[in-house]
Structures are given as C-alpha cells and as structure tokens.
Amino acid sequence: MKIYLASASPRRKEILSMAGVDFEIMVSDVDENISSTSAEDLVLKLSKLKALAVFDKLSDTDTLVIGADTVVAVDGKVYGKPKDYEDFHQMMLDMSGKEHQVYTGVYMAYRDKGGKRDDKSFVNMTKVYVDELDDEDIRAYWESGEPVDKAGGYAIQGRFAKHIKAIIGDYYNVVGLPVNEICRELKWLQKS
C-alpha cells in the first residue's frame, strides 16, 4: 500500500516516521478558514479537506492519504495557530492555570486494489493542564519563536513542557498526530 501524508508539519512527519510507517509527503493547499460548530467538527472538516485535496490528484490503486488537523479548545473557545503576539498572549491567558483540550481530526482516504474507495475518520482529544502563567512567562516563550506555527501557540515537546502540569490522553495527539490510533487503522486496512 502506498501511503501519503497530506501535511507540511515537520512534527507529523517525525511522528509517522518514528512509528516505522513508510510514506511520502504531499502537501495539500486548502483554505483553512472555514466555519464550524465545535472543535471536533472543525478538525474533522479540515482533515477531510486536506486528505481529499491530495487524494483527488492521485489515480493509483492501493493508495491511502492521511489528512490531519489540530486545534486547542479552552472554555468553548477554539484556537488554531496564533496570528500575532496579541492573539498568542490571549491564548496563554485563557489556558493559564486551567485545563484545555487538544483535538486532532484524522481523515484517511483509501482506494483499494480494485479501485473501490473506503474512507475512515476520527477525532482524538487530550486534556492538558497548564501552570499559572505570568506576563514574563508568556513574553519569554513568544520570543523563543517556538509558538508561531503551533495550534494553541505551544509545543508540548519543546520549551513549553516546563509549564505542563499533566495530560490525560495521547501525548502524540498534542504534538499533532495520534499515531497509536492511526497505526491501528493501518493494521486493519492491511488485513482487509
């Protein structure tokens, strides 16, 4: 089976490689400014758009395209990547001393050897608990440059780790790809 990851994220690439999955990158170019009723709905819509943008360019059989999108939700407010320092600062204040949820939607579009299409999708949610943050913590983290391209404005695997009290759920989901769930689906596909 030929596998494509429809993502430019170096973190997603690293996670899938770490799991021993043989794949190629094909970046989807989709407009991520869509409306949604919830974090779950948003990540499912975006992961589907990304996967199908790549899938529709391919005609090979026995081909799988994986699309993913991650957002952070705090008190019902949904955050993607910070637009600027003010946006980032607000995200950090909203997360400070509280629980937030990280949602990653995954959409897997598969064309079997006979040319039949079979799609699967799921959403993974992880709870993350953050220390109280002051303006100095927030400014210093912003100046590190790390938050710019991260959903929720932080990298759990980076400098922000020192502010994480606890997580409940899949660590790799917070990084950007729930690899355990993806590998279970891959195993199922390879058996069918």
CA dihedral 10, 15, 81, 95 (to 10 degrees): -140
Q: Rounded to two decimals, what is the model's pTM?
A: 0.93
Q: Which residues of the chain have pLDDT under 70?
A: 192
Copy the structure tokens of residue 43: 């990540």
Write down the pLDDT at residue 15.
97
Copy the structure tokens of residue 156: 């759990």
Cα distances (Å, whole numbers) of residue 34 to 12, 39, 45: 22, 12, 8
What DSSP letter does each residue of 110-159 carry, written as one string?
Answer: EE-TTS-EEEEEEEEEEEEEE----HHHHHHHHHTTGGGGSGGG--TTTG
Write down the pLDDT at residue 180.
96
Catalytic member of 56, 62, 69, 94: 69
Write down the pLDDT at residue 179.
97
Domain ranges of the chain: 2-191
Respond yes or no: is residue 69 known to be catalytic. yes
Write down the pLDDT at residue 9.
92
Task: Report how far Cα 119 is from the mean position of its chain's Cα atoms.
Answer: 18
Cα distances (Å, whole numbers) of residue 74 to 26, 95, 127: 31, 7, 10
Write down the pLDDT at residue 35.
81
Write down the pLDDT at residue 142.
97
> What is the third-level CATH fold of 2-191?
Maf protein (3.90.950)
